[in-house]
Structure 1
């Protein structure tokens, strides 16, 4: 049965589970080693529950606790959007473990240190008086947030006590459910984010000229041959850093690999539907001439 796209997709999912790797790893290996086979079509995953449990958690909170959770969630989403914009512009984003920990309070006169972003949101929501300790503690007991307490140096004041707060996945789910925020779904495997697709298209369109070896951001960690975004699963292997064809010295440049070209051919229509703002209309024609360079799996 695996000779059909649907059957092959089911087999890919079973292999990914058996080996404990992401489905895209199996898909990429499949296309590298069996390029003449049908392209596997992964079955859609069953929809998750209605979120009634998250709603019950929200209903159990009092008004002040809901306000705190809402303001923390809004700041968390703003920080996430900022990181996405950095990546889209080619910059290097920080690790989530860093930016998801947000300043809640600095224990010094506000006329000297100002208000944190979360405190400013709380003030706009009408919460001006003390009470952060008990409200945040209630959220932490329900495993909606995690707090961190340390000291930070402030010019002219020395070390100042600080409280930082981080939303848990449970806390984020409760806030989304209560506020009616629909989580943006990522692309289905083996498709990539708009950010990575844009990089791949850029390199492919460069053809035999390649792209400057100083390609900014973390894109190469996810796309380049021999890389690994987190030290675990391998990267996609869709681009490689090498000398231009026929050159033995000089600057290295980024070129699309045969695997990258095949991925484009396999899924260009799906990407066009997902990201119509990324112009990939001529990408296959433009990168054919670049497919003759040295290739590595």
Structure 2
């Protein structure tokens, strides 16, 4: 039995829930960091070292965003969030599986709030992987997890499409678009401002012409090749990248 297996099997069920949640949150954060590095390559040519982004928020005195609160939410969903959370984190830290520290962060509306930060150690990551085996490398011809996540997001957004401005990035569209794989394309939509939009009031007050309520928006859509790629390889992608959600 390896050290990682001994470390994992030596934890009680509650401690395993906490370590698993921290590991899963780190994986999500790592994907976000990879996306940032690809998207902002011109502005940030160097990858940030792990120590700069690997500290994850376990709890805050005010609600954090989804990724910051992910550990807290997963532990809560497992029914293991209570006054003993600090003791559980300390037990994991004493075993050398995580590091814990207090600090301050930004809550809603920019307020400064207290927070508890956690970070996996190398030993902790290895132990968590006993419960979360390393994923299989994509077969030749399939997308990396980063690109598959982008393609899946567009698939989920169909038939409306994924807003180009909100999707951001320039590297992944180059790989998935007509220049490379031809799985996605941009279409221009002529849309009407939704009810309650400030344009309606401006038109009523005569500050904007009536036609202003219509505007153009560019959206990413799957091409026929993109739809075929998903249908043909969906089961394989689900097996190797189970955390990526995609519609049928």
TM range (shorter): 0.3 to 0.5
Q: Relative CO higher for 1 or 2, CA cutoff 8 Å, sep ≥ 6?
A: 2
Asked which structure has the greater CA Rg, the reply is 1
Structure with greater strand percent: 2
